[in-house]
Amino acid sequence: AKKREYKVFSVEFHRVETPFIIGIWIFFASLAKIGFHMAPKFSKMFPESCLLIVVGVVIGVLLFHASSVHVSPLTPDTFFLYMLPPIILDAGYFMPNRLFFDHLGTILLFAVIGTIFNTLSIGATLWVLGKSGLFGFTTPLLDMFLFSALISAVDPVAVLAVFEEIHVNEILYIVVFGESLLNDAVTVVLYHMFETYSEMGPSRITYMDLLSGLGSFLVVAIGGTIIGVIWGLATGFVTRFTNQVRVIEPIFIFVMAYLAYLNAEIFHMSGILAITFCGITMKNYVEANISHKSHTTVKYTMKMLSSSSETIIFMFLGVATVNNRHDWNTWFVVMTIVLCSVYRIVGVMVLTAVANRFRLHKLDKVEKFVMSYGGLRGAVAFALVLLIDPKHVPLQPMFVTTTIAVIYFTVFIQGITIKPLVKILNVKRAERRKPTMNERIHERIMDHIMAGVEDILGKHGNYHLRDKFKRFDNKFIRPYLV
Amino acid sequence: MGNKSSLLLREEEIAQIQEATGFTPNQIERLYSRFTSLDRGDCGTLSREDFLRIPELAINPLGERIVNAFFEESGNDRVNFLQFMQVLALFRPIKKHSPNRLNSRQEKLRFAFKMYDLDNDEMISKDELLAILHMMVGANISEEQLNSIVERTIVEADENGDNMISFEEFCKVLERTDVEQKMSIRFLS
């Protein structure tokens, strides 16, 4: 046998392969980001998400030709378990709570009714079109619904990426963005429902199954929310005792929010709702407990994690586009894009008409337009379509291709044109500034006045409820958490 | 209930209130039934006690001042339905094309201003501001902190250096606040 000798130098790439490649990805994605901001003309015209996808495609093409190994970094698991939570936590934690709850009615209307309407109408229309033979293959009804369930949900990542840059006024922003967060429960339920149905086969679906689908919606939505709120309160409670060990304060905030997300996912509940509400809940109490420095750390870490995840998601979307399993069907792609846009507009028209009956601030034409136009589809749809099992749904490869096409359409066409459109239509922009002392005090007084007037009227409106919650909070929750 | 109140409210009264306040007949009837349910003594007017019997209003830090605004309108210690409606009309949402009488931005601001200005001298003094902050924050904030908040607030708003906030200065600091939105209620119609 050969004598073993001590080597001074050896190469063992295999051992570090995965983390090394991930590191390289993040490195290049960040470099790309720096690049865009160095070219101000470029980044003014295109939203960052577009440019990241383009970089992704370029890398994808290089990889595709360079190696025989198929690289597909965007698997549903990595997306749902590692890349999505930071973005949603960031959104939930920095959510303007008051604005969110003031418009909760409208947001819920869009998130629940709007998404269901979109799913059913897109699915049914695709099915009818399939019957007419336009696509050249048979389109089983349930498969169409499965596809429409994942394509009809407005995507929080895409909405954030585009809306953060255009700074529309806060009401528009919160309505579109709130919808994209809260419709997660609807998407999860519809997706699982149609997935199960299509596995069962249409003949064996009973009314009971339809009813349990409806029931499971409530469980998924309310369950996710409750899990989030409980973890949020727990975070408040734990951080109450950290004043001796300040350095671990941010850890609790991140880990406990993440656990809330995973906890909801264990029970197949809405993880997005869980982590959103965890952030919303904990913020009030945590901020009173942690030191100023920890607060800064939390803020920047959160921003960093979410923007890196967003960067990586869009780049990976680009990379994932380049593969040889595409199944392109022009009519199906075109019809899906048309139907998504048309039903979005119809949905917004009808639902804003309903919502305006109950709103003090009526949503006007321009706002309706931005709302329909802001219905962007994104990575959540892509991750969900990858989850479909081709064994049960033979059309899956075509769905993947179509989903990518829809995402490209919304991110590129809508993403690029929305900025100039917002300018042309003169949409009210957001102004970013801190409220002055006077504004803070006088606006508080107005809140009390309005709560008082609502009480005189015997009306249980927003002010009344907020007042009630504040009293409850001050009396029973705060003393234990702060 | 709806029937009963519409029986009690005569048509010309409704028309008169509609003319004076801009409420629709439906809203007037709705509010009248609320008015009668607050009116424990069944005498067609409300006393201070009638208002403060509303539990939430009694613990609202501004409860008493809001109630006082109703009595300022009436000038004595009873409030009749028309006076009740006139105060509430202030909180009607502003419509673009209808003339604003009671519910203009100016009037809404005036109402908020009066919450501070107890002695009716058209000025918010340091003491008045301090008193109202006291009621709002409770025991959580120390006297010193409150004092410095008050001072900062006045310095920020005061333009003519008299150490008080006049109504004009008050309007000015709230220039960017959506008062039309914040101080409006959607009355069911």
Separation in Å, CA of B77 to nearest CA in chain A: 17
Least confident stretch, A210-219, A289-298, A301-310: A210-219
Q: Do B112 and A455 touch (CB under 8 A)?
A: no
Q: Do A445 and B136 touch (CB under 8 A)?
A: yes
What is d(CA A359, CA B186) in angstroms, rounded to the nearest whole number?
7
Model pLDDT for residues A328-382, shown as the tens digit of each residue: 888 999 999 999 999 999 999 999 999 998 888 888 888 899 899 888 888 889 9
Look at residues A94, A183, A135 and name the one whose alpha carbon lies nearest to residue A378.
A183
Work out the burial of residue A70: count CB atoms within 10 Å of its CB; fewer than 13 is exposed, 13-18 middle, 19 or more buried: exposed
Q: Per CB distance under 8 Å, which residues of B are interface residues toward A? A: 31, 34, 37-38, 51, 54, 56-57, 59-63, 66, 88, 91, 93, 111-112, 115-116, 129, 132-133, 136, 138, 149, 152-153, 156-157, 170, 173-174, 176-177, 179, 181-188
Work out the burial of residue A2: count CB atoms within 10 Å of its CB; fewer than 13 is exposed, 13-18 middle, 19 or more buried: exposed
Structure tokens at A249: 């304060």
Residue found under tokens 């009030």: A284
A388 secondary structure, DSSP code: S
Phi/psi for B165 (5° steps) reads -110, 115
Q: Cα–Cα–Cα angle for A107, A113, A114, nearest 5°?
A: 75
Torsion of CA B179, B181, B185, B189, to 10 degrees: 140
Percentage of residues in chain B with pLDDT exceeding 90?
0
Mean pLDDT of A388-393: 87
Model pLDDT for residues A152-198, shown as the tens digit of each residue: 988 888 888 888 878 888 888 899 999 999 988 888 888 888 888 88
Torsion of CA A305, A306, A310, A313, to 10 degrees: 60
Model confidence band, residue A390 (pLDDT cutoffs 50, 70, 90): confident
Q: Do A444 and B136 touch (CB under 8 A)?
A: yes
What is d(CA A230, CA A223) in angstroms, rounded to the nearest whole number?
11
| pLDDT score at A38 | 86
| pLDDT score at A141 | 87
Structure tokens at A333: 């792609």
pTM score, two decimals?
Answer: 0.85
| pLDDT score at A45 | 78
Max mean pLDDT range (A43-47, A324-328, B36-40): B36-40
What is d(CA A416, CA B50) in angstroms, rounded to the nearest whole number?
60
Model confidence band, residue A72 (pLDDT cutoffs 50, 70, 90): low
Model confidence band, residue A321 (pLDDT cutoffs 50, 70, 90): confident
Higher-confidence residue of A268 and A72: namely A268
Model pLDDT for residues B72-97, shown as the tens digit of each residue: 777 778 888 888 888 888 888 887 66
| pLDDT score at B5 | 44
- Beta-strand pair B123-124/B165-166: antiparallel
A324 secondary structure, DSSP code: S
Phi/psi for A151 (5° steps) reads -90, -15
Percentage of residues in chain A with pLDDT exceeding 90?
33
CB of A376 within 8 A of CB of A405?
no
How many whole angstroms from its chain centre is CA B26?
A: 22
Radius of gyration, alpha carbons of chain A? 24
Work out the burial of residue A124: count CB atoms within 10 Å of its CB; fewer than 13 is exposed, 13-18 middle, 19 or more buried: middle
Instruction: Please give the sequence-ordered ranges of beta strands (E in DSSP) within A88-227, or none if there are none.
Output: none
Give the number of A-B residue pairs with CB atoms closer than 8 Å: 100
Q: Do B173 and A438 touch (CB under 8 A)?
A: yes
Max mean pLDDT range (A29-38, A39-48, A260-269, B83-92): A260-269
Q: Which residues of B touch A439 (CB under 8 A)?
A: 173-174, 176-177
Structure tokens at B88: 């509430």
Residue found under tokens 């595409």: A326
Model pLDDT for residues B134-185, shown as the tens digit of each residue: 888 766 678 888 888 888 888 888 888 888 888 889 998 888 888 888 888 8
What is d(CA B58, CA A53) in angstroms, rounded to the nearest whole number?
59
> Best mutation site among A170, A359, A363, A446 for testing chain B: the one with the most B CBs within 10 Å?
A446
| pLDDT score at B134 | 84
Q: Which residue of B has its CA nearest to A358?
A: B186
What is B60-97 written as a DSSP string? STTHHHHHHHHHHHHSSS-EEHHHHHHHHHTTSPPPSS
Model confidence band, residue A103 (pLDDT cutoffs 50, 70, 90): very high
Look at residues A74, A21, A36 and name the one whose alpha carbon lies nearest to residue A318.
A74
Phi/psi for B124 (5° steps) reads -95, 115
Q: What is the mean pLDDT of chain A?
A: 87
Q: Which residues of A touch B34 (CB under 8 A)?
A: 457-458
Least confident stretch, A245-259, A361-375, B9-23: B9-23
* Whole-complex ipTM: 0.90
- For residue B45, what are the β-bridge partners? B80
B174: left (phi over 0), alpha (psi -120 to 50) or beta: alpha
Separation in Å, CA of A363 to nearest CA in chain B: 13
The one-letter amino acid at A20? F
Look at residues A383, A378, A475, A363 and name the one whose alpha carbon lies nearest to residue A428.
A363
